[in-house]
Structure 1
């Protein structure tokens, strides 16, 4: 195989990956700060919602770290986390619509991320597409 025929390789945090790093970084800070403030101010009001927002922050942070770190192991780990994130968004989004009383306050994933312009449901799909393309 000549150099022209070789499959291109991608750095995870370059090109479209930079946009993903930026979005995941912003969502890490947004979800973490939201959940911390909510847990400090009134944890008893909606413990499930606030805990899910904290979980979202951890998932977003791990994906951000993996994209920046790069490498095949990080790519696979980020791909698994993006898939898990999508499942969480779909489950929590459906749950919040089916049983609104279970969530007296919103999470990052409530209503499929409607409070965040549906970015929480779009971002993992775009992340998985990029991570599959970036496969070596």
Structure 2
């Protein structure tokens, strides 16, 4: 008797909702990278903290995009770290940009919780963390049912 693979589709980080998240992360990665490069080249001396934070946000979006696409447990951990860092970053920078606007003479990607990007930077990491947790739960359930 041959054992047939499960007919249930396998849920991975880059399937279903994950594809939408990857698309949004890729768009933000491109937008934030372009913004920070232009800001740093043209007027870095006017707002070095803000423009450095924009570059960091761009790097986080690039890493998160790659980590959501790439298979394996190492990339899964990288996705958790990058998206977790993003969640903390947007909260901290968002709060500081409101409480201490003098630190941010020009906006960053995460200023005022991503207001310049329609608050997508505020919502996206929470959706990303939810998705990673959902995939983890699905993989555990599949492993448990497969062991039975």
Alignment map for 1:42-57 (pairs within 5 Å): 42-57=43-58
Q: Which has the larger radius of gyration?
A: 2
8 Å CA contact retained: 1:9, 1:134:
no
Tell me the distance in 1 between the aligned counterparts of 2:36 and 2:29. Answer: 11
* Local SS of the residue matching 2:122: helix
Give the equivalent residue in structure 2 for 1:61: 62
- Aligned residue number for residue 72 of structure 1: 73
Measure, in 2, the Cα distance between the counterparts of 1:77 and 1:134. 15
After superposition, where does 1:1-136 map in structure 2 within 5 Å? 9-135=10-136, 136=139
Q: Which runs of 4+ in 1 moved over 3 A?
A: none
TM-score normalised by the chain length of structure 2: 0.84
- Give the length in aligned residue pairs: 132
- How much has 1:8 moved relative to structure 2? 7.1
Query: How many angstroms apart in 2 are the aligned matches of 1:43 and 1:107?
Result: 12
Deviation at 1:70, TM superposition (A): 2.2
Q: Work out which structure has the larger RCO, using CA pairs closer than 8 Å and 6 or more positions apart in sequence.
A: 1
Over the aligned positions, Cα root-mean-square deviation in angstroms equals 1.6
Unaligned runs of 5+ residues in structure 1 are none
Q: State the Cα distance separating 1:9 from its structure 2 match.
A: 4.2
Give the C-alpha shift of residue 90 in structure 1: 0.4
